[in-house]
Homo-oligomer: A and B are copies of this chain.
Amino acid sequence: MHFDIAFIGFGTVGRGMAELLLEKKSILEKLYNITWRVVAISDLRYGSIINDNGIDLKEALSLVESNKDFKFLNGKRGLSSIEVIKESNSNLIVEVTWTNLIDGEPGYSHVKTALNLGKNVITTNKGPIALYYKELKELANRKNAQLRYKGTVMSGTPSFNIFEGPLAGCNVESIRGILNGTTNFILTEMEKGLDYEQALKEAQRLGYAEADPTMDVEGLDATAKLVILINTIFDMDIKLSDIRRKGITSIRINDIKEALNMGKRIKLIAKAEKIDNKILAEVSPQYIPISDPLANIMGVMNAITFKTDCLGDVTIVGPGAGKRATGYALISDMIAISNKLSKD
């Protein structure tokens, strides 16, 4: 299948995908029969550009590397992201603007606009998916467009998408995961002897935590991911507020030491269980026995354990963030769309 791609957002994640598109160009064509062209890029910082004959992606990347805007590229300039989605001759919108868990904007409007036009959307933006999954999924179905969002949970590491292929036909009975690398890093550093404030500073110094770390340390980020997992896997329509949530800000070094003395580790666990068609879900710090695979996930790594009817517990461990790992999530979504559409 051929993709005419419009990037809405061209920050770290968008550029991560762009670099992989270039690097994997021949593999995509040879193994998956995928060809692509970038026909538009829109970014708050670098401006917007449309060129239906194709934008030189290498050039665009090198402009951004040297902090220059897109006025050096040929094409139509100055349009808003919404206009770019509408006016570009694109069949794949890559929505990679920032996450907003209050109203999902601007991602929500981007995704809705694209789907309304029957354009396929891939995104790593948790906002629109955590807040409006059901609505957007139905819109996509109605408009015969594909909507994929692998990168919203554990970046490119397999998570809910494993049930499309390798675990097809299995029922999920429960989900337990370490879905936020920042808090797991802080807890890991605290085990080494830093107190909470020091560990948070270290996370900020390394770029794992934002200046305002609320989203991570209060468990909001993990909660958004859990909502996405639940709605996707159980085909539900639950909301952020349906999930009991407790962050890690009140954890002290002593708690961590005490846990270790009992053969346990404190981890921020996102979990959900389906009982009689009801979902019991929460995000909170939990004492996990050292023998549990999740107890041994250290630093910024993510992990998830699916309890399934066919296999019991299956655990997947991998990166949950990073330019390349999240860029790859979008590549995997693109391949999945191509497989799906070449099939129908």
Contacts and interface: CB of A to CB of B under 8 A. Distances in A.
A161 B168 CA distance: 12
Contacts of A343: 339, 342-343
Interface residues of A, number: 47
A328 B28 CA distance: 30
B332 A317 contact: no
Identify the interface centre among A24, A311, A313: most chain B CB within 10 Å of its CB. A311
A9 interface: no
Question: At the interface, is chain A mostly helix, strand, loop or mixed?
Answer: mixed
A32 B165 CA distance: 11
Given A156-B311, A293-B296, A314-B317, A27 B332 contact: no
B168 A32 contact: yes
A158 interface: yes
Contacts of A64: none
Given A310-B331, A313-B318, A343-B342, A24 B158 contact: no
A311 B325 contact: yes
Interface string A149-172: 010000111100110111111100
Contacts of A293: 293, 296-297, 317
A298 interface: yes
Interface of A: 20, 24, 27-28, 31-32, 150, 155-158, 161-162, 164-170, 290-291, 293, 295-298, 310-319, 324-325, 328, 331-332, 335-336, 339, 342-343
